[in-house]
Homo-oligomer: A and B are copies of this chain.
Amino acid sequence: MSGWLVIAGLGPGDAELVTPEVTRALAEATDIVGYGPYVARVAPRAGLSLHPSDNRVELDRSRHALELAADGRRVVVVSSGDPGVFAMASAVFEAVEAGPDPWRALDIRVAPGITAMLAAAARVGAPLGHDFCAINLSDNLKPWALIERRLRHVAEADFAMAFYNPRSKSRPDGFQKTLDVLRDSCAEDRIIVFARAVSTPEEDIRVLPLSQATAEMADMRTMVIVGASNTRLIARDGRPFVYTPRSVEA
């Protein structure tokens, strides 16, 4: 039996945002491996083994998935969003590099998905419509000094910004420090978007000027987008549209 491993992106939550490629991989799989809440998004069926695991055990989970594939199983590692953006793909390849040589010969594929920043951007218009950066604000796996250095450079170069993992119970203060850096570098009317649980029943979206943003507006399920200096707000009944123009004047 010839095993394979697909690292698949389930998108932000809505089943309508799961690609047919991912749906097919799930239908052909013998084993689903991933963080519990993501595995729970896969419908059980006869012949399919579900292997939910806790958060923060990405390398153990990756090794388990690779062992299953090496045994001839058809394995899908599920991520939310896109697996290549602050999700499981890097962990799997890290495990491949550190693992036994035969793992390098396995049939390993990445099936892309709709990542949170693009789902969040779509909800408000096109705030990432020009050059932008994606930054993981968690300092669990990198020093805060690097995050701060990156924030200052992207503000200086006037990129729009998308922030993943802005704030968690174990890191209550990091996002306040991020807001402080932004206030150093950006005008107080810079547009900021808090997009929580996009495409799920708990979706909640706020658009406001940087001056009114507070750290408590973000949690684990929030995607934060900060416009560039020329990002525009279109007033209308209800939530305004937000977009970053395609042109920048010389």
Binary contact readout A91-109 vs B (1 if CB under 8 angstroms, 0 otherwise): 1111011000000110011
Q: Are A111 and B122 in contact (CB under 8 A)?
A: yes
Question: Is B154's CB under 8 angstroms from A246's CB?
Answer: no
Residues of B within 8 A of A30 (CB): none
Say which one of A33-41, A81-89, A174-182 lies at the interface with B. Answer: A81-89
Closest to A106 in B: B236
Known: A82-B118, A118-B82, A122-B84. Is A18-B16 also a contact (CB below 8 A)? no
Asked if A185 is at the interface (CB within 8 A of a chain B CB), the reply is no
Per the bound structure, the CA–CA distance linking A123 and B244 in Å amounts to 29
Cross-chain contact of A94 among B83, B133, B243 (Cβ < 8 A): B243
Tell me whether A110 is interfacial, beta carbon within 8 Å: yes
From B17, B110, B154, B246, A126 is in contact (CB under 8 Å) with B110
Copies in the complex: 2
Q: Which B residues are CB-close (under 8 A) to A83?
A: 122, 126
What secondary structure prevails in chain A residues at the interface with B? mixed
User: Do residues B122 and A248 form an inter-chain contact, with CB atoms below 8 A?
Assistant: no
Nearest B residue to A128 via CB reads B84
Chain B residues lying within 8 Å of A16, measured Cβ to Cβ, are: 19-21, 24
Assuming the A-B contacts A84-B122, A118-B82, A150-B157, are A96 and B241 also in contact, with contact meaning beta carbons closer than 8 angstroms in the complex? Answer: yes
* Complex Cα spacing A20 to B97, Å: 35
A90 at the interface (CB under 8 A from B): yes
Task: Say yes or no: is A58 at the interface (Cβ < 8 Å to chain B).
Answer: yes
A14 at interface (Cβ–Cβ under 8 A)? yes
Asked if B136 and A97 make an inter-chain contact with CB atoms under 8 angstroms apart, the answer reads no
A126 / chain B contacts, CB cutoff of 8 Å: 83-84, 89-90, 92-93, 110
11 A-B contacts (beta carbon < 8 Å): A16-B20, A17-B21, A82-B122, A90-B130, A110-B121, A110-B126, A130-B142, A134-B134, A141-B246, A145-B250, A150-B157
